[in-house]
Amino acid sequence: RKEVEQDPGPFNVPEGATVAFNCTYSNSASQSFFWYRQDCRKEPKLLMSVYSSGNEDGRFTAQLNRASQYISLLIRDSKLSDSATYLCVVNLNTGGFKTIFGAGTRLFVKA
């Protein structure tokens, strides 16, 4: 089992749709969580950190469920410019450094 698993995708949605990405992690020592966006042939860019209380940034909402060990990202009112790969990232608190990237879920938003 992978330490961080994401929906395999791709997701194909029309403009204006609401789309949800799920991510599960296996290590209970996981400490901090992030969502990154990666455009084709570009570097990943931090989209948002994920806090225990959940957080929202405009059309984007991130949720964390520690008991079930999953993280979600909700995008409302999808735009064509949201088309990208979304990466789930988990940092572990093991006394040393350990950051694990999910393989990513590709999103295509169509007119």
Partner 1 sequence: DGGITQSPKYLFRKEGQNVTLSCEQNLNHDAMYWYRQDPGQGLRLIYYSQIVNDFQKGDIAEGYSVSREKKESFPLTVTSAQKNPTAFYLCASSIVRGQGARGSRINEQFFGPGTRLTVL
Answer for which of 12, 65, 94, 99 binds partner 1 (CB under 8 A) is: 99
- Which residues inside 8-67 make contact with partner 1, applying CB under 8 A? 32, 34, 41-46, 49
CB of 6 to partner 1, least distance (A): 9
Report the 10 Å Cβ neighbour count for 13.
17
Q: Which amino acid is at 60?
A: F
CB of 94 to partner 1, least distance (A): 13
Size of the site for partner 1 (CB under 8 A): 19
In which order are the strands placed within the sheet that holds 19-25? 4-6, 19-25, 70-75, 60-65, 55-57
- In angstroms, what CA-CA distances link 75 with 19, 28, 67, 91? 5, 27, 23, 23
Q: Which residues contact partner 1 (rule: CB under 8 A)?
A: 32, 34, 41-46, 49, 87, 89, 91, 96-97, 99, 101-104
